[in-house]
Amino acid sequence: MARTFFIGGNFKLNGSKKSIAEIVDRLNKAALDVNSEVVICPPAAYLDSTVQAVTSKQVSVGAQNVYVKASGAYTGENSVDQIKDLGAKWTILGHSERREYFKETDQFVAEKTKFALDNGVSVILCIGESLEEKKAGQTLAVVEKQLTAVIAEVKDWTNVVIAYEPIWAIGTGLAATAEDAEEIHASIRKFLASKLGDKVAEEIRILYGGSANGANVASFKDKKNVDGFLVGGASLKPEFVDIINSRK
């Protein structure tokens, strides 16, 4: 089956009201590939204004994180219900920065994933290994462990997109080759098939997210298991449109 090309833009803790409005305006006016789905994830403070500004039918808005409770005494957290109330439809979960800086465990990421899905928010689920783990040949063991925690909690994967993000490539300018990414993605899909069945595994989109930018995305064009990109810094720049259109 043909999986719809998916491009996520993770703005991280970057941007201002003005700069994000400019990004959205550029997307609204661009001739985006009609066979692509785009989700932009601004900082939480700009979710409302971003949702209000998006007019392109191909672009949705997501949060960068959610909590395992919809409301209550959880100062500083993002509520699934409040995200939906603003009109956002997605959230990024399990990003390596959340795992590293905020000590989120595989189990906690799995619980958040289940809660978001159960409450109507789709999930971009991030997995990936560190440089030390890569050098030790542990890439597949690491991503399988991360996925296993989520598989134990989530039964319906319809609204999950997986983003393979090698930690060693995020923000470093380094990137896996298209061939390396294809090999890892194929192994991830094979593992998913062993746990969830062939049909589910074939339907799940697997994105590459290690320093994807306008200069390197064309090399991934013909890789059958690379279904799109989760883009960091480049999503703040005009080249984000080129990434979206890289398969036209």
Q: Annotated catalytic sites, by residue? A: 95, 165
Tell me if 156 sits within 8 A of 200, measured CB to CB: no
Q: List beta partners, residue 93.
A: 125
Amino acid (1-letter code) at residue 125:
L
Query: If residue 7 lies in a helix (H) or strand (E), which one and from where to where?
Result: strand 5-10
- The rounded distance, in Å, linking the Cα atoms of 198 and 185 is 15
Token match 């390197």: residue?
A: 216
Rounded to whole angstroms, the Cα distance separating 47 from 81 reads: 13
Helices (H), ranges, the chain: 17-29, 47-53, 80-86, 96-101, 106-118, 131-135, 139-153, 178-196, 198-203, 239-244
* Largest separation between any pair of C-alpha atoms in the chain: 48
Check: CB of residue 83 under 8 Å from CB of residue 63: yes
